[in-house]
Amino acid sequence: MERSEDAAEAGMSNRWPEILVALFLFAIGVIVVSDSIRVGTGWEEGEGPRAGYFPFYIGSILLISSGWILIGALARIRKPQPQFATWEELRSVMQMLVPLSIYIVAVVFLGLYVSSFVLIAYFMKVHGKFGVIGTVLTSVGVPLAAFMLFERWFLVPLPKGPLELMLGL
Amino acid sequence: MTKFGKWAGRALVTAIATIGLTGVAQAWEPTKPVEFVVPAGTGGGADQMARFIQGIVAKNKLMAQPLVVVNKSGGAGAEGFLEVKGAKGDPHKIIITLSNLFTTPLATGVPFNWRDLTPGAMLALDQFVLWVNADAPYKTAKDYVEAVKSKPANTFKMAGTGSKQEDQIITAMIDKATGKKMTYVPFKGGGDVAVQLVGAHVDSTVNNPIEAEAHWRGGKLRPLCIMDSEKLPYNEKVTATQSWGDIPTCKSAGVPVEYLMLRGIFLAPGVTQDQVDFYVNLFKKVRETPDWAEFMKKGAFKQTFMTGKEFSDWLGKTEAMHYGLMKEAGFLAK
Amino acid sequence: MEELNNLMHGFSVALTLPNLGFMVLGITLGILIGVLPGLGGANGIAILLPLTFSMDQTSAIIMLSCIYWGALFGGAITSILFNIPGEPWSVATTFDGFPMAQQGRAGAALTAAFTSSFVGAFFAVLLITFLAPLVAKFALKFGAAEMFAVQMLTFCSFVGMSKEPPAKTLAVMALGFAMAAVGMDTVTGTLRMTFGYPELLKGFDFLIAVIGLFGIGEILLTMEEGLAFKGKSAKIQLNVVLQTWKELLRYWRTSLRSVLVGCWMGVTPGGATPASFMAYGLARRGAKDKDTFGKGNIEGVVAPETAAHAAGTSALLPMLTLGIPGSPTAAVLLGGLLIWGLQPGPLLFTEKPDFVWGLIASMYLGNIVGLIVVLTTVPWWAAILRIPFSVIGPVIIVICAIGAYTVHSSIFDVVMMLVFGVFGYLFKKLRYPLAPLVLALVLGDMAESSFRQSMLLSQGSLDIFWANPLVAGLMLLSFTMLLWPIVPALKHYLRGRG
């Protein structure tokens, strides 16, 4: 989809995402190379490569390739860019990404069951416009089914929070 | 569990403990499934034993709550040890240990020590045997040692499990005894190691008996000597002509190497004596089953059982021994 | 034929009414395990193992092997429907299976996947029945150098000319290899790139990365269309199975090649996941319509599924005859056998013929029963896609979170899943290919260990990679594969000059 910036729908261009992702990869490359140097990158006589030998070259490839992408992106910085996504699309994505991130944080503190109930109920009620009965049945049913399946049947403990503790589960 | 969960859990445990103190002292029992942490991957010696115990407990209904095996093998077992170390006061988490209880913190510097956990019981000690391929010309340990001595260093290849752990420590001890260095090649699991020797890709291994037993019976491998102070007490024939008891000690064959590996159970730090007693009793019952006896015989284990102070003393001594051996071999974390 | 007699005896032991019941139960449980990501075959069998202790030996083994079959079948379901691989070896199935589902051909994709699984597994069982001793000997030839050559071959047969920018392909591949290096280095025991964080000790698990990159990434991508998204109008045709079968007959060549790749990778043991990638790569190379791969070509479902299941099944062979498990699932199954007092090894076939032939017979039966069970559920699975996204979206997220958590029982992995999810979305939008990253993550660790083990064995000499015909042949084949895409270009160039 090589739409140019001045296409019909307004949106974000590839300019900054491209640069940021390349910078991120470059940073990973720096970490990999520096840690490899710490553990030794040599080729020991009679023993072959040391612990950092392969990671060092892999990190270097990462540095070169992400650097290449970065230079390319910077060279094009003033030129028109292909569109990353329209604002409308990004807004939609955020409608998922924000609750998703909150959900993950909630799993850490409240446990998986309560968070899952809230997540499903939120989507069904706010976005799906489902009735109260359907919403409650699904949002309680899914965590409950997971509980029966994992904790009771397969004996796999899932993350729990204060509520489960209070109930003595 | 979450921080808050842990805090609440501790509060609950304290509350229950207080009630317990004021009321009639009742024996503690698990109130939910017990996590059985294995600080090694699936299929290895520790994992096999843990799953076997899980089977015995389930089959004989030794515990009202189920035992759930969880593998936490990251960082040579550090992942599992740190997990139990962090579960302070949680009586529903136990861990099976192998030598990496001592070797991993020494070799990697990951901060944990057996004193961070509550020692439960020693279940058995695992033996190490020096194996060669059945087609190799060495019939006795002496033949093999002579061959190693007569060739330049690094001619002979020894395969073992992991790096800077028991197998490599034993290899370093053998190196010292022969005065010639062998090349140590690490593989992921004991089963892999045995197969590398069957395929003649290496010259010898120091597999545990259970890892190589089938290949011995199948006529593919030959045991040369056992790394203990005395011969094994199992006299039932494994092959047509030999039993575990027929394998000479390495010491008698001129290789003064002795090494035994711990198979023991630890609890999380900060648990009560009641809770420790429950598990000690549980494992006593496990040891009484005929299945366990069969398992011990098959794997030629040394059936030492220790608890309490005796066990702690043994742990202290063994830790000091590992420190000495690993320092000498240059395996300590820098 | 002695084998046939033994097998018939095995059938007579296995084929009783209660045992058939256990088969169906085992298959159903297995599918459930396979569908839920994270709760893979190895975990699942370990968890269900105690259930079998109260049964008699034959029934227990039948049930266990049926759970194994069910898990093999089930892995494909979420890959095709939601782009979430239920098992590591279903990753390659997502490449074409998911686009097919998007085009409303979920039923066909599922049928193709199940049927291919059946074919792959069936041939592998035939191999176990008739050639076990011979094949076991072949497996022994694989030392460290040979293993490295196999990994090299997998890699070379998969990478080729990709349509994405080369710098980006290279970058993600390096990222995959770098992630594979995190944690403890097997050869020296040194901790790499953990920076003192205990969460990093175990490294980056392949499944966590895949659940995030593919599953969560896809959900974010889907969201671009907004929450008005009402689910795919997958037409449910009851005769979809028969129609797909007719189509599948055309791809017998791909099936056969994938069976060979799979059996070979299972026995050596290279593993089911590399096998699926290799078969996919070879199918794409062999096809006339290369460009349709990755856009819903049914051949792209047939190849990895056939290979993965041929490999998964033939992995049981080295386990039974050598006591080395060819896969983590086989490792747990090994533990189960030990509890039954059966010591896998070279003598198992002669010492416990009843057991072995009962097991092999139950493999045939389990596979057939499994195929029937899963095929009847095809329309039912396809119907899931009609559920509105505002319901199925959050439910998928919950399943992904459970999956990510259960792999290592680590909450850190759930957070990593989100991070991988965001990058999955960004990479997709910025045209970074995901497949090389995943492949590097699978192979990186193994390939590095094998290479360095070889170097220790040879005292640092590279000669070990052409020291015998087997390893030399594999290396030669790898380089041929690597350079293959250049040949047509070269030909074109020469013709242009001539």
- B334 part of a folded domain: no
Q: Is B154 on the interface with A (CB under 8 A)?
A: yes
The verdict on C166 touching B (C-beta cutoff 8 Å) is: no
Q: Is residue B320 part of a domain?
A: yes
Same domain, B206 and B168: yes
Alpha-helical segments (H) within C159-232? 166-181, 206-210, 217-223
Has residue B24 got a pLDDT over 60?
Answer: no
Share of chain A above pLDDT 70, in %: 94
pLDDT at residue A139 in the model: 93
Structure confidence at residue A1 (pLDDT): 42
Contacts of range B43-46, beta carbons closer than 8 Å, 24 or more positions apart = B43/B189, B43/B191, B43/C325, B43/C328, B43/C331, B43/C332, B43/C334, B43/C335, B44/B161, B44/B189, B44/B190, B44/B191, B45/B98, B45/B126, B45/B190, B45/B208, B45/B210, B45/B211, B45/B263, B46/B96, B46/B97, B46/B98, B46/B263
Chain C interface test: which of B51, B106, B182, B220 (most C C-beta within 10 Å): B51
Domain that holds residue B313: 3-15+29-126+261-329
Q: Is B2 on the interface with A (CB under 8 A)?
A: yes
Total domains in the fold of chain B: 2
Predicted confidence (pLDDT) at residue C114 exceeds the cutoff of 80: yes
Whether A88 has a pLDDT exceeding 80, the answer reads yes
Q: Using CB atoms, which residue from C53, C184, C345 is nearest to B215?
A: C345
In a domain, B198, yes or no: yes
Is the Cβ pair A21, C430 closer than 8 Å? yes
Residues 6 or more apart whose CB falls under 8 angstroms from that of B207 comprise B128, B129, B131, B190, B193, B194, B197
Interatomic CA distance for residues C331 and B40, integer angstroms: 13
| B103 pLDDT higher than 90 | yes
How far is it, in rounded angstroms, from Cα B296 to Cα B124?
8
- Chain A residue whose CA is closest to B10: A165
Contact yes or no for A27/A105 (Cβ under 8 A): no
Within this chain, do residues B240 and B147 fall inside the same structural domain, yes or no?
A: yes
Q: Please provide residue B182's backbone torsions phi and psi, each rounded to the nearest 5 degrees.
A: -105, 155
In-domain check, residue B308:
yes
Question: According to the model, what pLDDT value does residue B43 have?
Answer: 64
Which residues have C-beta within 8 Å of that of residue B299, sequence separation ≥ 6?
A: B126, B208, B209, B210, B213
- CA–CA dist C233, B319 (Å, integer): 66
CATH number for the domain including B183? 3.40.190.10
The ranges assigned to domains in chain A are 11-81, 87-167
Comparing CB atoms, the residue among B9, B35, B154 nearest residue A157 is B35
Residue numbers in B near A111 (CB within 8 A): 2, 5
- B121 and B169 in a single domain? The answer is no
Average pLDDT over residues A53-79: 93
B23 burial (CB, 10 Å; 0-12 / 13-18 / 19+) is exposed
Residue B117 near residue B267, CB atoms below 8 Å: yes
Do A112 and C401 make contact, defined as CB atoms within 8 angstroms?
yes
Poorest-confidence range of B33-37, C42-46, C350-354?
C42-46
Interface list for C 169-228 with B (CB within 8 A): 183-191, 194, 198, 201-203
Chains linked to C by 3 or more Cβ pairs within 8 Å:
A, B
Q: What is the reported pLDDT for B3?
A: 46
Mean pLDDT (whole number) for A70-89? 90
Query: pLDDT at residue A168 above 80?
Result: no
Count of Cβ atoms closer than 10 Å to residue A154 Cβ: 20
Instruction: Give the model's confidence band at C303: pLDDT under 50 very low, under 70 low, under 90 confident, else very high.
Output: very high
Q: Give the model's pLDDT for residue B213.
A: 85
pLDDT computed for residue C498 by the predictor: 52
Q: Is pLDDT at C160 greater than 70 in this prediction?
A: no
Q: Are strands B93-97 and B261-267 parallel, antiparallel or unpaired?
A: antiparallel
Q: Is residue B252 part of a domain?
A: no
pLDDT, average across residues C35-62: 71
Band of residue C5 on the pLDDT scale cut at 50, 70, 90: confident
Closest of C439, C375, C49 to residue C244, by C-alpha:
C375
Least confident interval from A65-69, B125-129, C308-312, C493-497: C493-497
Helices (H), ranges, C83-143? 91-102, 106-140
Q: Is the pLDDT of residue C183 over 50?
A: yes
pLDDT band at C50 (very low <50, low <70, confident <90, very high): low
Q: What is the distance in angstroms between the Cα of C248 and the nearest Cα belonging to chain B?
A: 37
Neighbours of B284 (CB within 10 A): 12
**Adjacent-strand bridge partners of B262:** B125
B267 contacts B118 by C-beta, under 8 angstroms: yes
CA–CA distances in Å: residue B295 to residues B59, B176, B194, B290: 15, 34, 19, 9
Instruction: Find which of C206, C456, C464 to mutate to test the B interface (most B CBs within 10 Å of its CB).
Output: C456
Who's near C50: CB < 8 A, 6+ residues apart?
Answer: B54, B55, B58, B59, B66
Interchain CB distance below 8 Å, C332 and B51: yes
**pLDDT confidence of C42, banded at 50, 70, 90?**
low
Residue C378, pLDDT score: 83
The token pair that represents B173 in the structure block: 């001890």
Q: Are B196 and B241 within one domain?
A: yes
Residue boundaries of the structural domains of chain C = 2-497
Q: What are the chain B neighbours of C187 within 8 Å (beta carbons)?
A: 163, 186
CA atoms lying within 13 Å on the CB side of residue C256: 6
B226 and B118 in a single domain? The answer is no
Of A109, A155, A168, nearest to B4 by CB-CB distance is A109
**Final residue in a domain of this structure, among B222, B246, B270:** B246
Looking at the predicted structure, is the pLDDT value of residue A48 above 80?
no
Q: pLDDT tens across B261-278, in order?
A: 999 999 999 999 999 999
Q: Is the pLDDT of residue A11 over 90?
A: no
CATH of the domain at B110: 3.40.190.150
- B149-158, C360-369, C455-464, C486-495: segment of lowest average pLDDT: C486-495
Residue B218 lies in a domain: yes
Closest alpha carbon within chain C to B161: C186
pLDDT exceeds cutoff 80 at C470:
yes
Asked if residue B254 belongs to a domain, the reply is no
Alpha helices in C36-102 (DSSP H): 41-48, 57-82, 91-102
- What is the count of residue pairs from A and C with beta carbons less than 8 Å apart? 190
Residue C327: band (very low, low, confident or very high) from pLDDT cuts 50, 70, 90: low
Q: What's the CA gap between C289 and B135, in Å, rounded?
A: 53
Which residue of C lies nearest to A160 if distances are taken between CA atoms? C411
Per the DSSP assignment, residues forming a β-bridge with B237 are: B243
- Distance in Å, alpha carbon of C465 to nearest chain B alpha carbon: 14
Domain final residue pick, B184, B211, B246: B246
State whether residue A167 is helix, strand or coil.
Answer: helix
Interface of C with B in 324-353 (CB under 8 A): 324-325, 328, 331-332, 334-336, 338-339, 341, 343-348
Q: How far apart are CA A157 and CA B170, in angstroms?
A: 38
pLDDT interval class at C339 (50, 70, 90): low
Q: Which of B199, B222, B246 is the last residue of a domain?
A: B246
